[in-house]
């Protein structure tokens, strides 16, 4: 299993971005979490196989209607923290 940490900037808060991420992550069968950051970005951590994560990152890059993605960074890790499901963190 692989883990990715994604940071998305732009118009990504107040447009349902986290709910979009949760829906897509569950469709891909991933575990992890997403949260809004105080700087206006959204952070995502997802665990799955490499191929599935690649597809998920592409979906995040698109975002929901109303979002405008200005930047997206992805860090990759070779561990599985053992998340149970995919959730929004506050």
Cα–Cα distance, 36 to 12 (Å, whole number): 9
The percent helix, strand, coil of the chain (3-state, each to 5) is 30, 40, 30
What per-residue confidence (pLDDT) applies to 37? 98
Q: What is the mean pLDDT of residues 25-37?
A: 98
Active site residue 78: no
Chain segment 38-70, per-residue pLDDT in tens: 999 999 999 999 999 999 999 999 999 999 999
What per-residue confidence (pLDDT) applies to 47? 98
Which distant-in-sequence residues (6+ apart) come within 8 Å of 22 by Cβ?
34, 86, 87, 88
Active site residue 18: yes
The one catalytic residue in 18, 26, 35, 78 is 18
The one catalytic residue in 5, 7, 35, 36 is 36
What per-residue confidence (pLDDT) applies to 4? 98
Query: Would you call 32 exposed, middle or buried from its count of C-beta atoms within 10 A (0-12, 13-18, 19+)?
Result: buried
- As given in the structure block, the two tokens for residue 58 are 């592409």
What domains sit in the chain, N to C, each tagged with a CATH number? Answer: 2-79 (3.30.70.100)
């Amino acid at each position: 299993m692989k883990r990715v940490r994604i940071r998305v900037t732009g118009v990504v808060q107040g447009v349902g971005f986290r709910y979009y991420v949760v829906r897509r992550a569950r469709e891909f069968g991933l575990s992890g979490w997403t949260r809004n950051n105080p700087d206006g970005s959204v952070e995502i951590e997802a665990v799955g196989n490499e191929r599935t994560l690649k597809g998920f990152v592409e979906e995040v890059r698109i975002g929901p209607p109303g979002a405008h993605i200005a930047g997206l960074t992805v860090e990759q890790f070779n561990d599985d923290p053992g998340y149970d499901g995919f959730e929004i963190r506050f």
